[in-house]
Amino acid sequence: MLVEKTVTLPLENGDRLTRPEFEKRYQAMPELKKAELIEGVVYMSSAVRARNHAQPHGQIIGWLFVYSTATPGVELFDNATVRLDLDNEPQPDALLRIDKNLGGQSRIADDDYIEGAPELIVEIAASSASYDLHDKLKVYRRNGVQEYLIWQIYNKRFDWFRLKNGEYSTLEPDANGIIKSEIFPGLWLSVSALLQGNLAEVLTVLQSGLNSSEHTDFIRDQLEN
């Protein structure tokens, strides 16, 4: 008696899949580094360019790493798959989440995936035409990602969105050109320094945020929970 062998098909850009089928095909392709399911459609990344993605990605990770190491209960993840809902499983460039035991809105599942919306997500986008500014933005808003940061490399633009009353509004820099997170006190960013590649100034401004009374109070509240 012949037993027919079930073959797992590879992922292809534009496939329309359920989340379980997406995960099954993704797991069967260990050589694949990044694929996302957005509104039931598969998106697969092409080769990563050095100056237009890898370098800014590393800079964002460095900024968030310094913040997370100074802030108990806050975790940084790089390119982690996130199960948001039945049609959406993105793999953000970077994210910060608050530990579930300390009041965070996402959790780490038994199979080591993030489930639920992290508090903050960052995406490195080529331009304003990217799906990061369209379909993904709508998905993150609908699922309750509290702050969404998009760095448009070609446009030399950095947008920081804050979820309020079910809609994203843009956080504007203060008089000193600094944007301050409303979810993660002390997470400060000099956008002009970042866009100019002045990482020393980016970290100096961040350190000012870490030295602020708001950050001190945030740590105290986290530790008391």
Q: What is the pLDDT along the chain (225 residues), one digit of tens a residue?
A: 444 556 788 899 999 999 999 999 999 998 888 999 999 999 988 777 888 889 999 999 999 999 999 999 999 999 999 999 999 999 999 999 999 989 999 999 999 999 999 999 999 987 665 777 889 999 999 999 999 999 999 889 999 999 999 999 999 999 999 999 999 999 999 999 999 999 999 999 999 999 999 999 999 887 776
Q: Which residues contact 189 (CB under 8 A, 6 or more apart)?
A: 63, 158, 160, 178, 179, 202, 205, 206
Report how far residue 119's alpha carbon sits from residue 141's, in angstroms, rounded to the nearest whole number.
11
Q: Which domains does the chain show, CATH number per domain?
A: 50-224 (3.90.1570.10)
Q: Looking at residue 88, what DSSP letter applies?
A: B
